[in-house]
Amino acid sequence: MTPLPASEIRSAGEPIDADDLRTLAAIRAIYQASDPAPSDLADRAKFAMTVAALEAEIAEITSSEHDLAGVRSTVYERAATITFSSGHLSAMITIEVMDGGTARISGWVTSPPVWVELRERSRTQTTTADEDGRFSFASAERGLVHLVFRRTDAPEERPVITPAIEI
Amino acid sequence: MQAGANAGSLAEQAAAAFQEYRSGRGDGMAELVDSTTSLLWHTARAQGLTQQQAEDAVQTTWLLLVQHASDITEPRGVLKWLLTTVRREAWSTVRRARREDARDDLTDVAPELPGEDLDPEDMVVRGADQRVLWRHFATLPARCQRLLRVVALAERPDYAQVAESLGMPVGSIGPTRGRCLAKLRAALTADPAWEVTP
């Protein structure tokens, strides 16, 4: 790395002035126009936070595949397979969009037995994973959903929730 | 809100909203999410995450805030906490994507960050001023571009906090220019196409 000239080192210690603010404003304008946060990101975060108040453990999305490969997309559109994992379990779900605007969700979770909750905007559906860890929801509303996993044999254990996903 | 110094810094707004949330009054958390999500997004993207990875990192950061709200004793520190958390999430995503040992995630050593996922064709650069600026900005070291992107999206009084949250201490107290901005300024000043305001 080339050392900075003395004039730049001196300049670095000076207070930000009007020219700097103009420079920063231009950088801001360029990035805001070129790469804005998705318009629904704040809303999705707020939706997710209402569930996070459960003191649940948060699973992270470890991979997702869309059938619209190569298409730039900021939501989980159409059929998609998403994998989640947390310290306690991993889960994989496949979302298939059905005619009539609903979606079918089928999934598999490690360490059964677990209850699986599907939290939609306006309702919550619950099912139990079978002994192989398989579960499904035949009809989910399109929109934001979360999954919540709770062990049936250890109800006192913290539940595991996934981030909100758009289906 | 981004308009200028009069609006109060984002750190102050965030602190006020967080305090309101903690005291159980009003809709503090919603305000905090609305005012700060954009900065968190740009922080995640500046670490080289794809759009989808950045969305997940921002969401996870907000979920972690709900869980750790009681650990943050000083509301004025909430912006820094959020920035640090989203940056760590981003670094951990970068490591995981490379199948490295995810147990190293909590270290504060920056991974070799990938280049930004921005297609030059997607860049919206308007007017002569922005074109000159962008030409010089693009030649800065990658770490300077990351830092200035995030600093530019924040507010002037938050400069030091923002830089520090990115693991780049500014080395002096108060919002001084810092080396990255000094370097850019030197390049711009030497360019006759950049008109310095009198």
Give the type of residue at A124: T
* DSSP structure class, residue A51: H
Choose from B52, B103, B129, B144 for mutation: most chain A CBs within 10 A. B52
ipTM exceeds 0.90: no
Reduced to 3 states, what is the DSSP secondary structure of residue B135? helix
pLDDT-based confidence at B6, cuts 50/70/90?
Answer: very low
Domains of chain A: 41-166 (2.60.40)
Closest CA to A62 of B96, B41, B102: B96
- Find the Cα–Cα–Cα–Cα dihedral B35, A40, B144, B160, rounded to 10°: 20
- Per-residue pLDDT, averaged over A87-113, amounts to 87
Least confident of B4-13, B19-28, B66-75: B4-13
Euclidean distance between CA atoms A43 and B11, whole angstroms: 21
Q: Which H or E element spans position B143?
A: helix B142-153
Three-state SS at A38: coil
Q: What percent of chain B has pLDDT over 90?
A: 29
Per-residue pLDDT tens for A136-166?
999 998 888 889 998 888 777 788 888 778 7
Q: Apex CA B161: angle with CA B119 and CA B16, to 5°? A: 105
CA distance to partner chain B, nearest, from residue A122 (Å): 19
How far apart are the C-alpha atoms of B154 and B162, rounded to whole Å? 8
Mutate to test the interface with B, among A2, A7, A27, A51 (most CBs of B within 10 A): A27
**What proportion of chain B, given as a percentage, has pLDDT over 70?**
77
Q: What span, in angstroms and rounded, lies between the C-alpha atoms of A160 and A149?
A: 5
A59 burial (CB, 10 Å; 0-12 / 13-18 / 19+) is buried
Confidence of residue A68 (pLDDT cuts 50, 70, 90): very low
- B159 pLDDT higher than 80: no
Q: CA of A88: how far to CAs of A50, A69, A117, B92, B115, in Å?
A: 22, 30, 17, 18, 33
pTM of the model: 0.70
Any residues with CB less than 8 A from the CB of A114 and at least 6 apart, and which? A89, A128, A129, A133, A149, A150, A151, A152
Q: Interhelix angle for A18-34 vs B142-153, to 10°?
A: 90
Calpha distance B74→B16 (Å, rounded): 11
pLDDT score recorded for residue B133:
93
pLDDT value of residue B113: 64
Tens-place pLDDT, residues B132-154? 999 999 999 888 898 899 889 88
CB contact under 8 A, B56 and A60: yes
Spatial distance between the Cα atoms of B163 and B20, rounded to a whole number of angstroms: 26
Whole-number average pLDDT of chain A? 81
Tens digit of each residue's pLDDT (9 = 90 or more) over B20-47:
888 876 688 888 999 999 999 999 999 8
Q: How confident is the model at residue B131 (pLDDT cuts 50, 70, 90)?
A: very high
> What integer pLDDT is reported at residue B186 of this predicted model?
93
Residue B58 has pLDDT above 70, yes or no: yes
The two three-digit tokens of residue B113, written as one number: 């960050």
Q: Which residues of A touch B58 (CB under 8 A)?
A: 37, 41, 45
Residues B183/B124, Cβ–Cβ less than 8 Å? no
Of A8, A27, A37, nearest to B41 by CB-CB distance is A37
> Given this model, what pLDDT does residue B99 score?
63
For the stretch A94-104, pLDDT in tens is 998 887 878 99
- Crossing angle of helices B10-22 and B28-46, in 10° steps, is 140
- Is the Cβ of A44 closer than 8 Å to some Cβ of chain B? yes
Given a cut of 50, is residue A71 above it in pLDDT?
no
- Choice between B175 and A27, residue whose per-residue pLDDT is larger: A27
pLDDT, residue B71, reads 87
Cβ contact B54:B72 at 8 Å: no
Residues A30, B133: C-beta atoms closer than 8 Å: yes
How confident is the model at residue A165, as a pLDDT?
A: 82
pLDDT over 80 (residue A18): yes
